[in-house]
A = this chain, B = another copy of it.
């Protein structure tokens, strides 16, 4: 069981920021990553459709005999997690861990940014209130961040201006800001420049990998000697490799395989 890989899925390549953190903090784990590029982005799709796609992604990973599945897509985690847990219990998503960290840090109020679908789902508000009633939450959809990042406009004055447009008006109310999308760590520096030093940024990829480490440790599932990553995508492997390197911050030397969904 220990030697089995960790499965990760995302609608695209954003979940690779989680792979990056696993390689850093759990370098002996094998990983099977599935990016559903053919049907990305999930963020603009309806709830029913996102649940259907997520169940299909889970089913693919289970065929790869994984010991644990990370739902690295906020949109998917925000609407499909209970359906997925009915199919397979060992699931960690990118929402719960970051919420736990935000609650620990917040003294005033928590802000959340994410895709349109994630924010409309209200999942962060709901979960934060369940865990700590009484804390104030402000949320804001930032639908331009994903295309800006995929355009590679990381250190760009326009990206900074768009951050400002989205974030002014609610940053003075909060002291912790959750990056509720696995793409956003790539513009963390720009976001920090806009919100200043008074607000703590919490990053879902890092928080998720801490939760994964605890889970594997508590259940005696830490792999003593792996370290490989297998990449799968539902569209062209070439595009996945090129854009994926940006998120991993290292080239993808591995073979990227295609699976029709």
Chain A: residues with CB nearer than 8 A to chain B? Answer: 37-40, 44-46, 49, 143-144, 146-148, 150-151, 158, 161-162, 165, 235-236, 239
Tell which of B37, B147, B151, B165 touches A158, judged by Cβ atoms closer than 8 Å.
Answer: B165
**3 closest A-B pairs (Cβ-Cβ)?**
A46-B236, A147-B147, A46-B235
> Are A151 and B144 in contact, CB atoms less than 8 angstroms apart?
yes
> Are A235 and B148 in contact, CB atoms less than 8 angstroms apart?
no
Tell which of B144, B150, B162, B235 touches A45, judged by Cβ atoms closer than 8 Å.
Answer: B235
A46 to B242, CA, bound (A): 14
Chain B residues with Cβ below 8 Å from A46 are 38, 235-236, 239
A151 to B143, CA, bound (A): 7
Q: A interface, by DSSP: helix, strand, loop or mixed?
A: helix
State the oligomeric state as a number of copies: 2
A239 to B161, CA, bound (A): 28
Q: How far is the CB of A241 from chain B (nearest CB, A)?
A: 13
> Are A45 and B49 in contact, CB atoms less than 8 angstroms apart?
no
Chain B residues with Cβ below 8 Å from A151 are 143-144
A213 to B143, CA, bound (A): 38
A37 to B41, CA, bound (A): 11
Q: How far is the CB of A155 from chain B (nearest CB, A)?
A: 14
With A143-B150, A143-B151 as known contacts, state yes or no: A44 contacts B40, CB within 8 Å: yes
A45 to B235, CA, bound (A): 7
Q: How far is the CB of A260 from chain B (nearest CB, A)?
A: 9
Interchain residue pairs with CB less than 8 A apart (27) = A37-B44, A37-B45, A38-B39, A38-B45, A38-B46, A38-B49, A39-B39, A40-B44, A45-B235, A46-B235, A46-B236, A46-B239, A49-B235, A143-B147, A143-B150, A143-B151, A144-B144, A144-B147, A144-B148, A144-B151, A146-B147, A147-B147, A158-B158, A158-B161, A158-B162, A158-B165, A161-B161
Chain B residues with Cβ below 8 Å from A45 are 37-38, 235
Chain B residues with Cβ below 8 Å from A147 are 143-144, 146-147
Chain B residues with Cβ below 8 Å from A235 are 45-46, 49
Q: How far is the CB of A39 from chain B (nearest CB, A)?
A: 6
Q: How far is the CB of A22 from chain B (nearest CB, A)?
A: 26
A44 to B243, CA, bound (A): 12
> CB-nearest residue of chain B relative to A147?
B147
With A38-B45, A38-B46 already in contact, 14 other A-B pairs whose C-beta atoms are closer than 8 Å: A37-B44, A38-B39, A38-B49, A39-B39, A46-B235, A46-B236, A143-B147, A143-B150, A144-B144, A144-B147, A147-B147, A158-B161, A158-B165, A161-B161
